[in-house]
Structure 1
């Protein structure tokens, strides 16, 4: 494979991973996963049903399962984009490289979307106040997206070889 082929695979892979990430994160993710995926026993998510007068407390296990479900659908969205995009463009992506790139995407997405690891990283790097900021932008969302974009580039590098 030539350097030009690797560059084309990287650029195409990144574009496809990036577009599919936005779709998987914003359109495919369920509201339930979005609400519960960061839940822990020490920081639970509480759903209240005002009509029934009940509440459901979601802890660590529910958060982990919701995050796994979201990451599975997110990664499946990226896999579909890579499959369709590479077929349309005639790229010959190596299946092992595609699997490795999707594994990088899945694992790093899970880490960030459990929320606490990214919050800790933000604090450790001096970005804790920004992470907590809600206006005029939501710092945790912006840092989350930056994390994902960086790892999408890393996954595209895996694809390019």
Structure 2
């Protein structure tokens, strides 16, 4: 039987990874759904140059009477703004609870380790929630675009099928990618939080 002898650094790194991975996973749906404003959930996937009202994404030409106190703006600007607002609330919730968990467990997380994990978690979250990259990736991985077209939800009678909200294939693929990247973020953070031993150069003084 082969035994593996882990160094103290490896054990510490595995412990940090396990704590972070479970924290990121456990917090994800809370930060992604409970903290997300309904407005941001509806608007974050908007694209294009069509003029819409920023409060609800309603196309300006479709409104019979122009709104006095709201100027229409390009849909892409509304989508980017909503996605950014969502990611900021997601990041705030995750960072606060992760810090509380780290303190409770006595974990030391240097700022560069935190920053690296945050860039992976929050930067990729924005890209995925803007949908274009997710749809592009779905076409190239096991033909998941056909899964997206098949697994839709009818919210109301006589309404168009919803292709991206809860219960749809696109939503499941979205969540799966977020959680997979959370594991990567935890691994990178743990690796930077517990660096390997520094090797002394030849000829260097002790």
- TM category (shorter chain) comes to 0.7 to 0.9
Question: Structure 1 regions of 5+ residues with no counterpart?
Answer: none
Structure 2: unaligned runs, 5 residues or longer: 1-7, 155-166, 192-206
Do residues 68 (structure 1) and 84 (structure 2) align?
yes
User: Match for 1:47 among 44, 58, 74?
Assistant: 58
Computed over aligned residues only, the root mean square deviation of the Cα atoms, in angstroms, reads 2.3
Cα displacement (A) at 1:135: 5.0
Q: Is the 8 A contact 1:46 1:58 kept in 2?
A: no
| TM-score (norm. length: structure 2) | 0.69
Alignment of 1:138-153 (within 5 A): 138-153=168-183
Query: Which residue of 142, 148, 170 corresponds with 1:131?
Result: 148
Number of aligned residue pairs: 158
- 1:26 equivalent in structure 2: 33
2-side partners of 1:81 and 1:58: how far apart? Answer: 36
Q: Give the deviation of 1:131 after TM superposition.
A: 2.1
Task: Point out the structure with the larger helix share.
Answer: 1
Query: What TM-score, normalized by structure 1, do the two folds share?
Result: 0.88
Bigger strand fraction: 1
Distance 1:145 1:42 in 2: 28
